[in-house]
Structure 1
Amino acid sequence: MSGALPYWRLSNFYLFYFALLGGVAPFLALYFDHLGFSPARIGELVAIPMLMRCLAPNLWGWLGDRTGQRLLIVRLGSLLTALSFCLIFLRQDYWWLVLVMALHSFFWHAVLPQFEAITLGHLGPQSARYSRIRLWGSVGFILTVVGLGWLFGRFSLDLYPAMLLLIMLGIILASLLVPPAPRSAGRGVEGSSGFWLQLWRPGVPAFFLCVALMQLSHGPYYTFLTLHLEALGYSRGLIGLMWALGVVAEILLFMVMTRVLALFSLKQLLLTSFILAAIRWLLLGALADNLAWLLLAQLLHAATFGCFHVAAIHFVQRSFHDRQQGQGQALYATLAGVGGALGALYAGYSWSSLGPLWTFVLASLAAASAALILALRLDARV
């Protein structure tokens, strides 16, 4: 990166932010299982942060666009995330954990959409380089997954809340080092006259529906993959490596994503992501006991998260005016939260009644449905 772009300060924030996700996605359900909760209760508790993702981003996105104080929102949200999470050290009964999950995630999910807008503001016309900054989030995810996988393999899961709080303090520090994005002269979207009119342009509603379906399909993966693999006989250390492998594949894709975006349309990239997601969930449901198939399924994370996320960020950026980027990114986060919450809930209830196989089959059907919707509704020129 060249010029005045604060590459390392932006990258450092992504590293810590997604390090926290690396502590949550593979281990939160494991921690709740360690506390003795049933699969249904685990699904409910994991769904709460995703439900907050449905509420928080739109409120903070509107506030960020209205005031222009995106960086202040990021810093305040990071601080309040850590402070509210500290409540977990007082009690660990179900209803107290409901409060902790709701409160800290309300502030946590305020942060990323605003930071995405800050990053795109710094990049300006070089937005295709976004993936080179975002890949450091994947590095943070890997470091946490591998490190905590080793730690919990040797020591008790009672250490889990303290480890998450340590990462949250890193997010606060990283947010203090990031400079505000330069003010834009204002990139318009042809024919735009307000956020809601832009939202109802052809193909945009279908895209946001499919965002929700993609995250719904990830419900069993993020909620029960660790427990699923443990039940199949894999060690916690190896499970941590499987999580890390998926993110390594994602990083490798991020490194070449600038060239990929030049070769393929956003519609082609999104369709490919959904089709491969449908295949991935079938592999995890039916063949995860075979290490070779499990390796292939984890390598497909490059498509189901990496390719999908970068293509989606670019779609949102192209669909909304500069002064509405905060609301656009927030709506993306919100619909992802709706899908993620529904995915965690259905996975929690179906895991016990239908079993892992049919739970992942339902996830595959959700991804395949999204592929069909996009194929029919999204303009080929996108």
Structure 2
Amino acid sequence: MPADFRRYALFYLGYYGVLGAYTPYIGRWVASHGHGGYAVGAMLALWYGGRIVAPPTWARWVARSPRPGHWLFAGCLLAALIFAGFLRYDGGLALFAVMGLFAVCFNAVMPQFEAMTLNALGPRNHDYGQIRMWGSIGFLLVAASYGWLLDRLGDDVFIWLTLPWLALTAFAAWLHRADPAQPPPAADAPRDALWRRPGMRPLLITVLLVQLGFGPFYVFYTLHLQAHGHDGFAVGLLWAIGVLCEIAMFWQAPRLVQRFGAPRLIAACILATAVRWVLVAAFAGSFAWMALAQVSHALSFAAFHAGTMRRMAELFPQRRDMAAAQGLLYGFSGGIGGVLGAGMAALAWQRGGGALAFAAGAACSAAALAVHVSMQRRRTEAHA
């Protein structure tokens, strides 16, 4: 990896290290304070809601600034300070207020950084996976160890364990403070033109449905495993298996994208994801089946993400449009899809437990595959 790209890898390491704490274990921390499934779902819904509100506004502010790196650092520093509020507020409306503010700040910066990374790569965008892989390493280090640590130290240390990763993210952002401003959007290309770009709407709908299917995984996977008798070490190990396979896939993703193309790779990933959720719904008590399901994370997350990034680079070859396009993707799919996924997961969890929640996730993935295949057929027919 070129020396300059190490700064980008460090940011992904810290940022996804935070997610490695938050995604698997925030539900456990909330439940340990006496809150039920709806409260856990609300915490994740607020998290994803931040993806709807923050990125578009943040992108406008960054576009007007001659020093976008300062905005990146400010967002990361604010996120760390706000997250420390959980040390005092663990219930009532204050809990959700802290969550909402943290979600806005932390979610605002990633679309900006994704655009900075793709712009820095330029024609080498196929190497994105090898930089993004370091985010998976950060996620792995945290997700694999926190279950064991929380079993021994108690759930209350969760916030203290996560704050150093937020500090690392802020430090990594500081290293980008002098990065040059990105080219401004063209005056004759309004933002709604991004939505009308041929191929963009089908991609957004597909990614939204995939994100919807991930709702039960992000909200209740740890609790689902605990309900079926797995201890903290086993839970952490299962998360680690998924992320190890994810890391290996990010390393190989450039070759897969170049060989098969983004559309075919995305279709294969969605199919694997649907099968994965069926396994989690039906065989959660078996560590072996859960390990097999986690192996498919290489496709359902890493290869899918790399394929999506390649498709975005194809749809928006002009660098000046990339930041706004990333904000649209992040907010619409990850934001709206995440909120709806958390709500769906909470409702299904309360009514039928993890089995119903993950069965609903499988149905969403099947719908995503149907949309994707249908749109690819239309593209093929249009070019015939």
TMscore range, shorter length? over 0.9
Which residue matches 2:78? 80
Which among 175, 178, 185 is matched to residue 176 of structure 2?
A: 178
Contact persistence 2:86–2:98 (CA under 8 A): yes
- Identify if the C-alpha distance between structure 1 residues 293 and 63 changes in structure 2 by more than 3 Å, giving closer, same or farther: same
Which residue matches 2:196? 200
With 231-240 and 200-209 compared, the bigger mean Cα shift is at 200-209
Which residue matches 1:19? 17
Which residue matches 2:329? 332
Work out the percentage of aligned pairs sharing the same amino acid. Answer: 31
Deviation, structure 1 residue 105? 1.1
With 248-257 and 161-170 compared, the bigger mean Cα shift is at 161-170
Taking the TM superposition and a 5 Å limit, the aligned residue runs for 1:1-382 are 1-2=1-2, 6-67=4-65, 69-178=67-176, 180-181=178-179, 193-320=189-316, 321-335=318-332, 336-378=334-376, 379=379
Letter in 2 for 1:125: P
Letter in 1 for 2:340: L
Contact persistence 2:147–2:232 (CA under 8 A): yes
- Identify if the C-alpha distance between structure 1 residues 187 and 129 changes in structure 2 by more than 3 Å, giving closer, same or farther: farther
Could you give the per-residue CA deviations for residues 129-168 of structure 1, whole angstroms, max 9, x where no partner exists? 1111100000000111122122112111111111122211
Contact persistence 2:73–2:177 (CA under 8 A): no
Deviation, structure 1 residue 68? 5.3
Contact persistence 1:71–1:114 (CA under 8 A): no
Runs of 4 or more, structure 1, over 6 Å off, are 183-188
CA distance in structure 2 between the aligned counterparts of 1:23 and 1:115, rounded to whole angstroms: 20
Could you give the per-residue CA deviations for residues 195-245 of structure 1, whole angstroms, max 9, x where no partner exists? 422421332101101111111100110111111111111111110010011
CA distance in structure 2 between the aligned counterparts of 1:314 and 1:67, rounded to whole angstroms: 27
CA distance in structure 1 between the aligned counterparts of 2:66 and 2:109, rounded to whole angstroms: 14
Contact persistence 1:65–1:325 (CA under 8 A): no
CA distance in structure 2 between the aligned counterparts of 1:313 and 1:345, rounded to whole angstroms: 27
Structure 1 vs Structure 2 CA RMSD: 1.9
Could you give the per-residue CA deviations for residues 26-72 of structure 1, whole angstroms, max 9, x where no partner exists? 10000001001011121112211111111101111222234354322
Number of equivalent positions: 376
Letter in 1 for 2:305: H
CA distance in structure 2 between the aligned counterparts of 1:194 and 1:187, rounded to whole angstroms: 8
Unaligned runs of 5+ in 1: none
3-state SS in 2 of match to 1:27: helix
Unaligned runs of 5+ in 2: none
Deviation, structure 1 residue 347? 0.9
Q: TM-score, normalised by structure 2?
A: 0.93
Contact persistence 2:242–2:294 (CA under 8 A): yes
CA distance in structure 2 between the aligned counterparts of 1:128 and 1:179, rounded to whole angstroms: 25
